[in-house]
Amino acid sequence: MITSSHPAAIPEAADKHGATKAAPGSRATCDVTRLRIEPLTSEAFAPFGTVIQLEGAHHYPINAGTTERFHALAMTDTDAQGGRTGISLFRGQGFTLPFTLRVMERHPLSSQAFVPLATGAADRYLVVVAPPGVLQTSALRAFLAIGWQGVQYATGVWHHPLIALDRTLDFLVVDRVANDANCDEIVMEAPFIADL
Amino acid sequence: MITSSHPAAIPEAADKHGATKAAPGSRATCDVTRLRIEPLTSEAFAPFGTVIQLEGAHHYPINAGTTERFHALAMTDTDAQGGRTGISLFRGQGFTLPFTLRVMERHPLSSQAFVPLATGAADRYLVVVAPPGVLQTSALRAFLAIGWQGVQYATGVWHHPLIALDRTLDFLVVDRVANDANCDEIVMEAPFIADL
């Protein structure tokens, strides 16, 4: 959710929808846009891809009942133009909130999935997305992923580079491996500030 | 490493190579075969697939240096006969050692990767494999995976169903999703006992 505001007014003036208003007589020293961070749910994230989590998953016992399979939490889309699917690990620096967003990227040919490893319930990371097509910064959304919640960005979905919060986190990444360009990056004209 | 032995003789009579000998005059009530568990290393596991770990990985900074990418720790092989790649989660019951092996399975059309989630350094699981082709139980190998070490079984490699140790563990699984049969299972004529 997006509103234009003076930075100092952000925490105090936000109403329940994240809307903020400059106090009468205040002078903005620069224009920034606040992006309120939303909880990460499958429903809210559906326009951008898939939340990788157990909630709502189809599951059934295998291995003579000693294992429960939570099936196909995400399906990759990585084979365009001869692409293959690789399993990589991203070690992401920990940032703090509020976080200033300046750049967005997309992989026009493929999905990309992130699942944090060795996390505790208190670990979290920030997911910032915009619909595919021409980047519309007015359509930016920010989500807070908790614990081992993963996300898979659908093909072409704009997203901010990895934003682990509070401490360095490792993510298993399932994405396309090929010898071609599959990443567009845009520096936004004006930054956004993501905060809870 | 495999040796035939009387079960009661296993812990005591094993030499440094895991070889055991029945004590003179002892009477075996059944024949069992001990499989000594080896450390999981990329080199030792190479005939069976890939160890998913940072050691030895090709890595480089991305995202303006805020993320380190450990690239393509494993490459999937899941697209035979129209297969797609899915990301699932297996919740595996915790077992204790020694563990009795009775069954092996393989996926003739595809690789299958396992990476444990939310593990600590003390978490571990057991990996039991045999080369592809006709199952040769004499070629069984057992490996101990520690912490978040993952494995990808190469296409057709025989492996035991998931054996988390000590406590229930969750594994991210990257494997082939398709509406066909892609699992052969064999109950072994005689069990094996895997132990450290």
* pLDDT tens for each residue of B30-78: 678 999 999 999 999 999 999 999 999 999 999 999 999 999 999 999 9
> What is the domain class of A38-188 according to CATH?
mainly beta
**Are A91 and B72 within 8 A, CB to CB?**
no
A67 vs B67, B85, B91: nearest CB:
B91
From B120's Cα to the closest Cα of chain A, the distance in A is: 7
Interface test mutation site (partner B, options A59, A85, A148, A165, max chain B beta carbons within 10 A): A85
Half-sphere exposure at residue A122, Cβ-oriented, CA atoms within 13 angstroms? 2
Least confident range of A66-80, A153-167, B25-39, B181-195: B25-39
Peptide bond into A24 cis (omega under 30): no
Strand ranges of the sheet holding B150-153, from the earlier edge strand across to the other edge: A59-62, A67-75, B84-92, B169-177, B112-116, B150-153, B49-52
Tell me what ipTM this predicted complex has: 0.86
Return the residue matching tokens 């009579």: B13
Is A162 close to B113, i.e. CB distance below 8 A? no
- Give the residue from A55, A73, A89 with the most B CB atoms within 10 Å of its CB, the best one to mutate: A89
A86 and chain B: CB distance < 8 Å anywhere?
A: yes
Q: Is the pLDDT of residue A16 over 50?
A: no
CB atoms within 10 A of CB A103: 13
Q: Look at residue B44 and give its three-state secondary structure.
A: helix
Distance from the Cα of A17 to chain B's closest Cα (Å) equals 31
The domain segmentation of chain A, as residue ranges, is: 38-188
CB B34 within 8 A of CB B20: yes
What are A194's strand-pairing partners? A35, A99
Nearest Cα to B171, choosing from B126, B113, B121? B113
B119 touches chain A (CB under 8 A): yes
Asked if A119 is an interface residue toward chain B (Cβ–Cβ < 8 A), one would say yes
3-state secondary structure B2-33: EEEECHHHHHHHCCCCCCCCCCCCCCCCCCEE
Sole residue written with tokens 């208190």 = A122
Residues B37-189, CATH architecture:
Sandwich (2.60)
The gap from C-alpha B189 to its chain's centroid, in whole angstroms, comes to 20
User: With a CB-CB cutoff of 8 Å, which residues 123-142 of chain A face chain B?
Assistant: none
d(CA B87, CA A149): 13
CA torsion angle B125 B169 B193 B46 (round to 10): -30
Q: What is the largest CA-CA distance in chain B?
A: 71
pLDDT digits (tens, 9 = 90+) for A97-109: 999 999 999 999 9
Q: Which residues between 5 and 44 in chain A have a beta carbon less than 8 angstroms from any beta carbon of chain B?
A: none
pTM of structure: 0.86
